[in-house]
Structure 1
Amino acid sequence: MTAIELRDVSVTYADAVEPVLREVDLSISEGELVLVVGRTGSGKSTLLGLLNGLVPYSTGGTVTGTVTVHGRETSAHRPRDLADLVGVVGQDPLAGFVTDTVEEELAYGMEQLGLPPEVMRKRVEETLDLLGIAELRDAPLADLSGGQQQRVAIGAVLTAHPKVLVLDEPTSALDPTGAEEVLAAITRLVHDLGITVVVAEHRVERVLAYADRVVHVVDGAVESGEPAAVMRTATVAPPVVELGRWADWSPLPLSVRDARRLAGDLQSSVVEVQAPQRLPRNPIVLSARSVSVRHGDLVAVREVDLDLYAGEVVALMGRNGAGKSSLLWALQGSGRRSGGSVTLGGGDDAVDPGDLAPAVRRTRVGLVPQTPTDLLYLSTVGAECAQADTETRSAPGTCRELLDRILPDIDPATHPRDLSEGQRLGLVLAVQLTARPDVLMLDEPTRGLDYQGKAALAEVLRGLADDGHAVLLSTHDVEFTAIVADRVVVMAGGEIVADGPTRDVVTSSPAFAPQISKVLGGGLLAMDDVVRAFGERR
């Protein structure tokens, strides 16, 4: 049975010269798990928004053609009239919450549908267990980590038992283990209940092995088919697919397990890559001693000691709720610090960043938060970039040049609210990088970025490090860590439990090991390592 059908659908937003989607024909069967892939800003979120009428009812613009979901044409129904049929989880879960606590949020959608109290109670309990968030039942939503908020947002949709579940970047804020748990739960919904799931995800490596079908969005057009066939030429590809393309394997591997079955001869010829000797440390740029952070009765950070060195990119990793974001804000100076000391610089110039005026602090310690829109307040992309140049006394065009390196071809007249999540992140990164602070901190900087965008960001961050800056990024993205980080610090329960060279730390953990390492071993972390070891093409 057909669950979703698009016929000759085009979408053009107001003032746009070209349609973002053009003459799309797409048919999705009931009970399929469909993965939507494409470059940042390609139109994936627009495609998802069509499925419950958010496009055009909430976004504006013009839609031609027909979109039918389980027999209902979305043009004849507003999003609220499709709430019993289509559940949607957006990129920013906090923006979608309407209550104060986890249990209230899980029950809210069912209340709007008029379900009996005994049914609501049973579904809330089932969902708490399904997503592993029972201990958060009474927790305030605002106090949850980004990953915990993501699970609650998914749970709030699942309690309504929709026939179609639409997820936009559902694992972007989750640690690797949490992402596997959520995806396993979603897969059970598909297999056991026949729910149709449509997922747009930039971390393709996490979802690809679960997908029944891949929809590739490129240049306003849509290609749909078997995952291996579509990924052979897709504009985005996870490391395991890149490895399969490079080695010309057939069938193309979609998972680490698939690749390992094909990699026997490669594995046998891998020469163990020795981790480079630790060079003498550059000067310490920022030093933390016994830093603690409390949120009420919760100890988020517990007496942490950490040194950041000039010329080094450090990845801060750990499960959701480990205290990574709290530590970043405490180090940067604008966040809460319950105890300990933070020193920026050395000698007579040493200063606590918390004592600096905000305008000065920005030039010394920059921080890009998980919600980058908090830092955008002007009406156009061009205005944001021009303001960044002015505030940092940089040459005109500096911010725009940085933006083009990360995400090229964004119209300067576009309002930041009209950008995709990844594009907004790219803009905030460019704004913060314009100041070229001594220490740059980033909280989940790859959310919404495709693989090309991540590679460009890695190049920018490496350039900063090469110029003597220190970079500290909190991330769950093990593939990004593999290409950018010199050192990995792992947190658990508010404490640092591991600190060492990237190769040593990530390869010792099944959760943090990148795909190439899992397939080939030998100290190889990314495709660049494979090319260096074996050549451009096998």
Structure 2
Amino acid sequence: MIELDHVSFTYHGRSEPVLADVTLSIGEGELVLFAGQTGAGKSTLLGTINGLVPHFTGGHLEGTVSVDGVTTRSRPPREFAHLVGVVGQDPLAGFVTDTVEDELAYGMEQLGLSPQVMRRRVEETLDLLGIAELRRRALRTLSGGQQQRVAIGSVLTTHPKVLVLDEPTSALDPTAAEEVLATLARLVEDLGTTVLMAEHRMERVIPFADRMIYVPGTGGVVDGTPPEVLKDMPIAPPIVHLGRLASWDPLPMSVRDARRRASSLTLGTPPVRTTTAGEELLAASGVVVRYGPKVAVREVDLSLRSGEVLAMMGRNGSGKSSLLWAVQGSGPRQGGKVTVEGKDPKTLSSAAARALVGMVPQTASDLLYLQTVAAECEAADAESGTEAGYCRGLLDRLAPGIDPASHPRDLSEGQRLALVLAVQLSAAPRIMLLDEPTRGLDYTAKAALAQMIASLTAEGKAVVVATHDVEFVATIAHRVLVMAEGEVVSDGPTGEVLGGSPAFATQVAKILGEPWLTVDDVGAALPQEVR
């Protein structure tokens, strides 16, 4: 189905190739996971398959890429629309209509399908992805996760032979992610669709993957089954790290496999998670947010103390982002009261509000406006009054090796997010709000972000993270707040909320049960001779 024959690719202005002499053969009906660190070249490799690389990106391509016998060099990307469906990292950037139903139908209209066929496929896709209630909603009013599902649906309706997805579950809650992956697996099994997927949250995808391609960032690739590739791969999901820690051979690829072996582990006392939370920094009561007739946040109370990390979780559209913006002061708030150091951010100027409460939105690239990475970092240092190079130092900890002369829009999604995080953290306000900060970040970058959050709390700051990444929450949060339908349905210590929830449990919690959450917890409780 897909053939890459000695493919090399170099972007304009770069001396080193992103891809170097890559040869791959991918058959019909395979589900292939592409993995690698942020900026390693996964998106570039996927882009060659429908000709976006180099027809759209520019650069120099050597070798041959063919899909179903047609070479991408011979035709423009639009002539591959019936063969290859692509879902990018930023769903909103790819939408061409205003409403959900219109977006699902648009691709079929371009292919000239009959109205009867279009109607049937739209209904099937709405049900497959669980978004039937969104059919008449404006795309810009949807949450990031809802937009992600619509983007996937808009491609599924055209029934392509090859489906290429770049971080398809990054903005989805755990339940929605499982539903989408199960849908993709059904397309592979029932229709013979070839699915290629780049995803940093490998723990979600590995149970579904037939094959894995690791892009190390050196130009080449490592190809094999998930157990073969993960055996020596430096980045890996928690279940693989647990298997390495326990010296299991072969390494488990599913929670069920790991649970069967877990009885052999001899563990000591479970870890006790404590917080050094101090004075109250933020108090909010009765917060209400409406968008027209829709109530997004319903009389929510919230408090934050210095040294505390609060994780905000809940299904897509539950009101997490709306609550964050209402607390920061930039978003709408029709009711309630918010006090930060005796002031309401909503009554202050934008600059004064940012000095109290910093905010990194889901679409982090909206905050980037200069021509180079170096200029963004220099502006951040100047605006925050820090020493020269401070922002760049933060960026190197999150995503090292980014060319300072690069345009921010040319970076990968994960690299752009890392840059915005570095810019916002340069100001170091007492309270930092992060909306889906791990979207597009690999395990190494997430570990660096976790260390950065820990250093902020050690300085007495408070951090709120709205996320669907349960593994990241288990690592950094002292407390978890779960929202549903705009209301708080649970608020308590991380171990209690995650360990006792089938939807939000980590891989380790699913294997060993409460109160075990992370591989580090298990490692600390193993006998010294086993570690």
Kindly state the Cα deviation for residue 307 of structure 1 after the two structures are TM-superposed. 0.2
What is aligned with 1:417?
Answer: 409
What is aligned with 1:461?
Answer: 453
Q: Which amino acid aligns with 1:207?
A: V
Structure 1 residue matching 2:432: 3-state secondary structure: strand
What is aligned with 1:388?
Answer: 380
What is aligned with 1:314?
Answer: 310
Structure 1 residue matching 2:446: 3-state secondary structure: helix
Match of 2:157 among 139, 148, 159: 159
Aligned pair 1:330/2:326, yes or no?
Answer: yes
Q: Which amino acid aligns with 1:366?
A: G
Q: Which amino acid aligns with 2:284?
A: A
Task: Write out per-residue CA displacement over residues 466-508 of structure 1, whole angstroms, 9 at most, x where no aligned residue.
Answer: 1000100100000000111111011011011111111111001
Task: Write out per-residue CA displacement over residues 338-374 of structure 1, whole angstroms, 9 at most, x where no aligned residue.
Answer: 10010001xxxx1001122112222211100000110
1:337 and 1:379 mapped to 2: Cα distance? 34
8 A contact 2:270–2:525 mirrored in 1: no
Kindly state the Cα deviation for residue 536 of structure 1 after the two structures are TM-superposed. 8.6
Structure 1 residue matching 2:23: 3-state secondary structure: strand
8 A contact 2:271–2:525 mirrored in 1: no
Task: Write out per-residue CA displacement over residues 173-196 of structure 1, whole angstroms, 9 at most, x where no aligned residue.
Answer: 000000000001000000000000
Structure 2 unmatched ranges of 5 or more: none
What is aligned with 2:267?
Answer: 270
Kindly state the Cα deviation for residue 537 of structure 1 after the two structures are TM-superposed. 5.2
2:225 and 2:481 mapped to 1: Cα distance? 39
Structure 2 residue matching 1:454: 3-state secondary structure: helix
Go from structure 1 to structure 2 and tell me whether the alpha carbon gap of 1:5 and 1:536 turns closer, same or farther (over 3 Å shift): farther
1:33 and 1:22 mapped to 2: Cα distance? 24
Aligned pair 1:430/2:430, yes or no?
Answer: no
8 A contact 1:325–1:443 mirrored in 2: yes
What is aligned with 1:503?
Answer: 495
2:529 and 2:441 mapped to 1: Cα distance? 25
Task: Give matches, 1:90-489, under 5 Å.
Answer: 90-218=88-216, 219-266=218-265, 269-271=266-268, 273=270, 275-276=272-273, 281-345=277-341, 350-489=342-481
8 A contact 1:4–1:27 mirrored in 2: yes
Task: Give matches, 1:1-80, under 5 Å.
Answer: 3-80=1-78
Q: How many residues align?
A: 529
1:508 and 1:83 mapped to 2: Cα distance? 45
Q: Which amino acid aligns with 1:103?
A: E
What is aligned with 2:505?
Answer: 513
Aligned pair 1:491/2:483, yes or no?
Answer: yes
1:501 and 1:474 mapped to 2: Cα distance? 16
What is aligned with 2:85?
Answer: 87
Kindly state the Cα deviation for residue 270 of structure 1 after the two structures are TM-superposed. 2.9
User: TM-score scaled to structure 1, two decimals?
Assistant: 0.97
Q: Which amino acid aligns with 2:201?
A: R
1:251 and 1:434 mapped to 2: Cα distance? 44
Greater alpha carbon shift after TM alignment, 358-367 vs 336-345: 358-367
Structure 1 unmatched ranges of 5 or more: none
Kindly state the Cα deviation for residue 521 of structure 1 after the two structures are TM-superposed. 2.4
Structure 2 residue matching 1:76: 3-state secondary structure: coil
Kindly state the Cα deviation for residue 413 of structure 1 after the two structures are TM-superposed. 0.7
Q: Which amino acid aligns with 2:143?
A: S
Q: Which amino acid aligns with 2:345?
A: P
Task: Write out per-residue CA displacement over residues 130-171 of structure 1, whole angstroms, 9 at most, x where no aligned residue.
Answer: 111111111111111111111110000011000000000000
8 A contact 2:170–2:439 mirrored in 1: yes
Kindly state the Cα deviation for residue 248 of structure 1 after the two structures are TM-superposed. 2.1
8 A contact 2:495–2:514 mirrored in 1: no
2:65 and 2:179 mapped to 1: Cα distance? 32
Q: Which amino acid aligns with 1:317?
A: M
Kindly state the Cα deviation for residue 233 of structure 1 after the two structures are TM-superposed. 1.1
Kindly state the Cα deviation for residue 272 of structure 1 after the two structures are TM-superposed. 5.2
Q: Which amino acid aligns with 1:71?
A: G
Greater alpha carbon shift after TM alignment, 197-206 vs 350-359: 350-359
1:434 and 1:75 mapped to 2: Cα distance? 44
Greater alpha carbon shift after TM alignment, 248-257 vs 63-72: 248-257
1:355 and 1:272 mapped to 2: Cα distance? 49
Kindly state the Cα deviation for residue 249 of structure 1 after the two structures are TM-superposed. 1.3
Q: Which amino acid aligns with 2:267?
A: V
Query: Aligned residues: percent identity?
Result: 63
Q: Which amino acid aligns with 1:288?
A: A
Kindly state the Cα deviation for residue 250 of structure 1 after the two structures are TM-superposed. 1.6
1:283 and 1:82 mapped to 2: Cα distance? 59
1:148 and 1:230 mapped to 2: Cα distance? 32
What is aligned with 2:524?
Answer: 532
Structure 2 residue matching 1:88: 3-state secondary structure: strand
Go from structure 1 to structure 2 and tell me whether the alpha carbon gap of 1:288 and 1:390 turns closer, same or farther (over 3 Å shift): same
Q: Which amino acid aligns with 2:463?
A: V
User: TM-score scaled to structure 2, two decimals?
Assistant: 0.98
Go from structure 1 to structure 2 and tell me whether the alpha carbon gap of 1:184 and 1:500 turns closer, same or farther (over 3 Å shift): same
1:261 and 1:138 mapped to 2: Cα distance? 46
Q: Which amino acid aligns with 1:4?
A: I
Kindly state the Cα deviation for residue 29 of structure 1 after the two structures are TM-superposed. 0.8
Go from structure 1 to structure 2 and tell me whether the alpha carbon gap of 1:536 and 1:62 turns closer, same or farther (over 3 Å shift): farther
Q: Which amino acid aligns with 1:291?
A: V
8 A contact 2:413–2:440 mirrored in 1: yes
Q: Which amino acid aligns with 1:70?
A: D
Structure 1 residue matching 2:497: 3-state secondary structure: helix
8 A contact 1:272–1:523 mirrored in 2: no
Kindly state the Cα deviation for residue 273 of structure 1 after the two structures are TM-superposed. 2.0
1:536 and 1:85 mapped to 2: Cα distance? 55
| Structural RMSD (CA) | 1.1
Task: Write out per-residue CA displacement over residues 261-286 of structure 1, whole angstroms, 9 at most, x where no aligned residue.
Answer: 222111xx33452644676x511111
1:246 and 1:67 mapped to 2: Cα distance? 40
1:63 and 1:537 mapped to 2: Cα distance? 49
